[in-house]
Structure 1
Amino acid sequence: MLTAMCGSCPATERWALDGTHTVSMKGRDRNKPCWCDSGLKYKKCHLERELQERPSIWNARKDVQGLQRFKTCLHPEAGPSACSGPIVRAHTVRRAADLSVIARKGHVYQTSADLGDLHLNKGRLLPKLVGINEASTFFGFCSKHDSATFAPLEATALVPTDEQALLLTYRPLCLELYAKERQLESLEIARQGDKGRSLEEQFGLQEYVLLMRLGMETSLRDLRRHKSRFDADLLARDFAEARYVAVELDVPPDLMCSGFVQPHYTFDGERIQDLSDLKTELQVMSFSLASTAKGGVAVFAWRSDSDAASSELVDSLLRLEVVDIPHALVRYATSEFENTYYRPDWWDGLQQTDKDALVDRLHHGVGPDIALNPSYLKDDGRRLVRWNVINVSQKRC
């Protein structure tokens, strides 16, 4: 017998699916809350849902795209009197300094998680060409606050300074917060995906949605706490808590990246922190691949309150042979960050087996039901870039 638990109900109260594929009420009636925890009455929610018309993937895609066009300003002083100009497409990877460097005819490759593309690609996350005016953007800042806040990254050479290190983390943190809020909203769309499905399939989808919701709500809790600390530093113009390790490269990297992450495993496969622990606030850091006047740089940046986890990760990187570090950076960027952009000439020049291996990395940790491989950052023997490390600079205290 399959059972579906109601997330807000005692364990003794449940819907039961018997061998004839009918739902036995077990003391409930049609006016009680639905088993899926939607908050609706059963008769207004899952009653005879298996007989309803299946939703179109294209309608769901349209609804999700609508959520992604939500406009807000995430600056700590945002408000009618403080904001100025429209909400803009705020770049998280610098357009002029980074994206244009690797672009071909104004386009770069980006992994597409668009519902339509996933449907056509049979669930595979595959790169597609996107214009550099749209790449890495989100509607997260007004024109005034986007320009003023990130001017030290856009109008000044990347070193990094303490201020730049803080902003290299603050920017993808804001993107992650914005994206998680939209993803949580999109779960209401996902809830409707079991229309026209068997009761077994309904139970499976609603359980998946519940797990996703728990994870997202926990992530949002932590993201808001971390952002409040960065907000305070930003408003006080106090960058003393900024920490970073910058791996300088002799050429601009073929991948440009700006990502925010909870360090999970080291480059030698040792666990750093348990991402399944929903009660503990996890430590966080950012990772950037960018161009510089000398060539390029990979920057791991964090705040002092994330010293332990961040240091454990970067120390494992620095223990590698210097010639192996560029290839470890490629493994890290492709395994961890959707917000990564690829030089088209580089990607198109790869062997198909190497492309397939990178696409496999893009699926690392996608969804709550995909087990993480502790060895995912270990050397896989692939040598896909021709970058050389010329220096390592850092601020660790």
Structure 2
Amino acid sequence: MDGRVMDEGLSLEHKAFRNTVQRFIRERMDPFCQKWEKAENGHPASLWREAGELGLLGLLIPAEEGGPGCDPLFPILLTEEIARSPAGASLGSITFGADLLTLLLIEFGTPEQKARYYPRILSGEVTQCIGISEPDAGSDVNAITTRARSDGDDFVINGQKTYISHGMLADLCYLVVKTDDDVERGRGSLTMLLMDLNTPGIERRRMDMIAAKASSTAELFFTDVRVPKSTILGKEGQGLGANISQFLLFDRVLMSLRAIAAARYAFDLTLDYVKERKVFGKRVFDFQNTQFKLGELKTKLIVADAFRRDLIAKFMSGILDHMTSSAAKLWCSEHEYAVTDDCLQLHGGFGCVAESPISKLFSFARIERIYGGTNEIQKGAIGRSL
């Protein structure tokens, strides 16, 4: 049991794809993570173009619309493999996970919007982000104040977005705003726009996060930004709710699976470390306390793997509900944090060094309990479902 999808559940195409992903991570991601963490905008845009050349992007775009038409197991494999690597510790769960945003375009885009963006998403020419959070509107999306004022056939946008993953690098933002009609309707009415982030009037500022430093989290500032109303994705006033319900469910599934894979990777790193590190003349592994703790962690990983297999099976069969996806995100991120915390402790002083893989895993595990909807929000959603 190695934390991956069982080989007997994979087709030859799945196995070939996984091999491609592993090679890409090993050759094009892992060796450069430390450099990217110090770069102004994190990892380079060229990484996406390289991924596009290998067919790692736009996986869910239907074949009849020019895409690979892959099943959801392909992005699951991609997510898990990145999580089990040094690159995953530096980039976090949001690297090629941003490609999941294409689901919104697949489901609600017009033929013209799809024709414009599909080829560039597939090639890696366009990278994506989603703009929901604001300084005073995180989990409470109804508090959003970014406004798109109607002006003939255009919107004029003013406002600010924050904690935007890939914000420094992205070309396309799924931007959630309030339009004039939204304001008239009141709370619960929001519109999503396909925003070209190279439009005049947009400024970006990088945010120095405690983890995933090779990513490019940003604040976005919009000052009298003019865009045509043809940028509306779906219908005006339906920016959330049904518009992103399935996206959020799949996003929570991927976050859960990433968390389990990262916890397993932390355990593997720790097991190797304690077998090499010597204290008082013997290996750290040989102390009873170490073996007790490793035994606890191994048991947690076995249980997590059983949950993971069930989660994948339910999602692939279409029977996974939103309450269960919230429970998965809650439990898996708490599990990841607990495991990486114990693993860092077993690393001793080396675990506190910023460049050590275990410190990166630990720091991002802390973010995971907030990212994608805080765990308190997940608890509330579960409670309301009862």
Same fold at TM > 0.5? no
- TM-score if structure 2 supplies the norm length? 0.32
Higher radius of gyration, 1 or 2:
1
